[in-house]
């Protein structure tokens, strides 16, 4: 991204200032995910450099290569990577990963030779999605054409939600509802139900190994000047992101959620989505009570705030926490918790292993909330534009999440979310 020139023609003061700026840019906290992506890019670039050395290139003779020969070098390398000569020794690497190797190799080749070159088609380089040069594209196209597709992410069903509720009821009879309410299963039960309405990705309410640095309890906003007052704060929902209103549209103090009269008094929920992958930060989405629906987003949110109160979660920590039975400390809700509870619910709801959902049980993952939300809205009559607005997506992402499913899979949940769509 930055020129690799030595800046020897610049005045000493300017050269020192620019070098300091470069060092600052390289060291700035841009977030764990971007740091990991940078590491992946660097590893691929080093792999390409090692491959060059293995086939006889040196620093001296590589500089003698003309730019006209670069495509042949990179195409040969890309084919070797596809055959298994890569960082992970994979022979079934997907086209997206191959494209990443090509990008890293192209950048490294330009840096090593100090000659400008890009693997992108110059006629499309200014477009939103530039294309790569035809020779490279054909190699990737072959991999795209013949690779085995990954299993689709499947939506969950009302029967699975009912199975979770039945399991929680049974557990509460064996111990107490007060203890069960704090467990991972009940926390997952609430966040899964809320996800039908919000379409939230796991990073908005839970944690993943890839989403946070090792040794850190939860993912945070990068500690940088650009992040301002939000630097180092939780990426997932905190208590301030849930705002409640009464039937008369009067603001209700969040602490009222712990009152016995909360369900009668609180009638509307506003959820603040601080940061996501779009350019629209601090988006608000509104949800009203749905008394006739199988579950209600406002009641679910009240549950989440109540659990946070009972767990004594600090105001700036993520709401997605729970406590194991007979434990005194809290744990963060994880993507694996959501996945495991959905698959458990599937086996309970559909004991026959020949059932569609059992056959495709591995498609039930934390991302299934997004698939379910999009599918329910579509079945409820929403257009792709409406779905994109309600779930805060780019409209081009909507078809990705829409799935064909067997008849009747989501008829009741469709009614629930259609109520939100029609009244919000």
Three-state SS sequence of the chain: CCCCCCCCCCCHHHHHHHHHHHHHHHHCCCCHHHHHHHHHHHHHHHHHHHHHHHCCCCHHHHCCCCHHHHHHHHHHHHHHHHCCCCCCCCCCCCHHHHHHHHHHHHHHHHHHHCCCCCCECCCCCCCCCCCECHHHHHHHHHHHHHCCCCCCCCCCCHHHHHHHHHHHHHHHHHCCHHHHCCCHHHHHHHHHHHHHHHCCCHHHCCECCCCCCCCCCCCECCCCCCCHHHCCCECCCCHHHEEEEECCCCEECHHHHHCCCHHHHEEEEEEEECCCCCCCCCEEEEEECCCCCCCCHHHHHHHHHHHHHHCCCCCCCCCCEECCCCCCCCEECEHHHHHHHHHHHHHHHCCCCCCHHHHCHHHCCCCHHHHHHHHHHHHCCCCHHHHHHHHCCCHHHHHHHCCCCCCCCCHHHHHHHHHHHHHC
Q: What is the pLDDT of residue 423?
A: 42
pLDDT score at 34:
52
Least confident of 181-195, 221-235, 289-303: 221-235
The pLDDT value recorded for residue 2 is 39
Domain limits of the chain?
Answer: 1-29, 31-146, 158-423
Instruction: Give residue 407's pLDDT.
Output: 40
Give the closest residue to 26 by CA, choosing from 59, 4, 56, 53.
4
pLDDT at 412: 44
pLDDT of residue 279: 67
CB of 358 closer than 8 Å to CB of 233: no
pTM above 0.85, yes or no: no
Rounded to the nearest 10 degrees, what angle do helices 411-423 and 158-174 cross at? 100
What are the pLDDT digits (tens) for 123-177? 887 776 788 888 898 888 888 887 777 778 899 999 999 999 999 999 999 999 9
**Residues paired with residue 214 on neighbouring β-strands, in sequence order:** none
| Residue 149 CA: distances (Å) to CA of 224, 273, 399 | 39, 32, 17
- The two tokens of residue 209 are 């190994």
* pLDDT of 415 over the 90 cut: no
Predicted pLDDT of residue 311: 97
Residues belonging to the chain: 424
Q: Residue 210 pLDDT more than 80?
A: no
Q: Which two tokens stand for residue 322?
A: 């729970």
Is the pLDDT score of 89 beyond 50? yes
Question: Alpha-carbon distance 8 to 225, whole Å?
Answer: 30
| pLDDT value at residue 212 | 62
Average pLDDT, the chain: 85
Given a cut of 80, whether residue 409 has pLDDT beyond it is: no
Q: What is the pLDDT of residue 403?
A: 60
pLDDT, tens digit, for every residue of 368-394?
998 898 888 887 788 889 988 888 888
d(CA 11, CA 222) in angstroms, rounded, equals: 34
- Of 1.10.287.130, 1.10.443.10, 1.10.4160.10, 3.65.10.10, the CATH number of 158-423 is 1.10.443.10
Does the pLDDT at position 406 exceed 70? Answer: no
Range with lowest mean pLDDT among 20-29, 45-54, 95-104: 20-29
pLDDT score of 278? 60
Note the pLDDT tens digit of each residue in 294-341: 789 999 999 999 999 999 999 999 999 999 988 889 999 999 999 999
- For residue 277, the model assigns a pLDDT of 60
Among 216-220, 359-363, 410-414, the range scoring the smallest mean pLDDT is: 410-414
CA torsion 55-58-63-64 (nearest 10°) is -70
Q: Name which residue leads in pLDDT, 407 or 263.
A: 263
Higher pLDDT, 148 or 85: 85
Does residue 30 surpass a pLDDT of 70?
Answer: no
């Amino acid at each position: 991204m930055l020129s690799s020139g030595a800046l020897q023609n610049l005045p000493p003061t300017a050269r020192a200032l620019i070098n300091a700026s470069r060092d600052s840019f390289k060291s700035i906290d841009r977030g764990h995910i971007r740091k990991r992506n940078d590491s992946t890019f660097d590893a691929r670039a080093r792999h390409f450099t090692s491959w060059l050395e293995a086939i006889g290139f040196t620093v001296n003779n590589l500089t003698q290569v003309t730019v006209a020969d670069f495509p042949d070098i990179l195409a040969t390398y890309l084919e070797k990577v596809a055959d298994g000569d890569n960082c992970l020794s994979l022979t079934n690497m997907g086209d997206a990963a191959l494209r990443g190797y090509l990008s890293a190799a192209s950048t490294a080749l330009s840096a090593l030779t100090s000659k400008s070159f890009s693997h992108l088609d110059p006629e499309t380089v200014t477009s939103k999605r530039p294309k790569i040069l035809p020779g490279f594209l054909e190699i990737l196209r072959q991999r795209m054409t013949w690779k085995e597709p990954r299993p689709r992410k499947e939506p969950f069903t009302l029967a699975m939600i009912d199975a979770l509720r039945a399991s929680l009821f049974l557990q509460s009879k064996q111990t107490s509802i007060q203890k069960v309410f704090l467990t991972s299963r009940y926390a997952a039960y609430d966040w899964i139900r809320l996800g039908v309405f919000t379409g939230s990705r796991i990073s908005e309410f839970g944690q993943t190994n890839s989403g946070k640095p090792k040794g850190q309890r939860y993912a945070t906003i990068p500690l940088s000047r650009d992040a301002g007052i939000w630097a180092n704060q939780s990426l997932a929902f905190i208590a301030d992101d849930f705002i409640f209103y009464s039937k008369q549209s009067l603001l209700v103090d969040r602490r009222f959620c712990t009152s016995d009269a909360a369900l009668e008094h609180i009638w509307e929920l506003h959820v603040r989505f601080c940061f996501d992958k779009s350019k629209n930060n601090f988006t608000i989405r509104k949800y009203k009570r749905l008394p006739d629906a199988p579950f209600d987003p406002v009641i679910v949110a009240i549950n989440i705030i109540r659990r946070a109160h009972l767990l004594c979660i600090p105001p700036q920590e993520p709401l997605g926490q729970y406590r194991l039975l007979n434990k005194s400390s809290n744990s963060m809700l994880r993507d694996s918790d959501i996945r495991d509870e959905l698959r458990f619910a599937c086996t309970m709801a559909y004991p026959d292993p020949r059932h569609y959902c059992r056959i495709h049980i591995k498609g039930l993952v934390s991302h299934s909330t997004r698939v379910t939300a999009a599918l329910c809205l579509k079945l409820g009559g929403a257009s792709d534009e409406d779905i994109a607005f309600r779930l805060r997506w780019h409209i081009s992402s909507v078809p990705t999440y829409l799935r064909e499913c067997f008849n009747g899979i989501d008829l009741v949940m469709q009614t629930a979310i259609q109520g939100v769509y029609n009244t919000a």
